Amino acid sequence: MSASNPRLRVVPAPAPEPATGPVDFDTLFTRYASYVAGIAARLLGRDDDEVEDAVQDVFWIAARRLGRVYSLEAARPWLVTVTVRVVGRRLRRRRWRRLFRADTEVVDVPATGLSPEQYAMLQRTYRLLDRIRDEDRVAWLLRHVEGERLQDVALACGCSLATAKRRIAAAQSAIYGGLDDG
């Protein structure tokens, strides 16, 4: 059949209707609070207070925009994106503070269940991560620590797939170079 055939008519599929309406906040928080806290902790590599503040910021934003989310499955990648943006702002503030004062803050990473050697390696890795660009750090951590798919990393970082791959490769290079140096 040709496209000029008057009997052939292409009708777009209707948009799916949400079955139950927007997700309620209590369900969202109960299901994803620890997940968001884990991502924030690994991206920030800092103390519990900073992670708690980041989680509160994420869920404050989520509460304001919850009407846009119609399923718990769709909420997960959306919360990752919000978490990345909140953590990105915190990382930028941290860099500005270091720029204007000699910030010799020690990386504080929870040592739960780690041997002293593993803890030392983890602290060294976070020190290296603190030296690279925030965008590269976040992309690398999402991919290699959180185990996110490349497409999800790109979505969470608000960039193209190629840019996400470049950021991950840049971070990987800096980390391996730093670990080899010492």
Percentage of the chain surpassing pLDDT 70? 75
pLDDT at 17: 45
pLDDT at 72: 81
Report how far Cα 133 is from the mean position of its chain's Cα atoms.
15
φ and ψ of 10, to 5 deg: -90, 120
pLDDT in tens, 37-58: 988 988 887 667 888 999 999 9
Architecture in CATH of 21-101: Orthogonal Bundle (1.10)
Indicate the CATH number for domain 113-182.
1.10.10.10
The distance in angstroms from the start CA to the end CA of the chain is 68
pLDDT at 182: 56
Please determine, for residue 76, whether its predicted confidence score (pLDDT) is greater than 80.
yes
Lowest mean pLDDT among 55-59, 101-105, 110-114, 170-174: 101-105
This prediction has a pTM of 0.63
Please determine, for residue 82, whether its predicted confidence score (pLDDT) is greater than 70.
yes
For the chain, which residues make up each domain, given as ranges? 21-101, 113-182
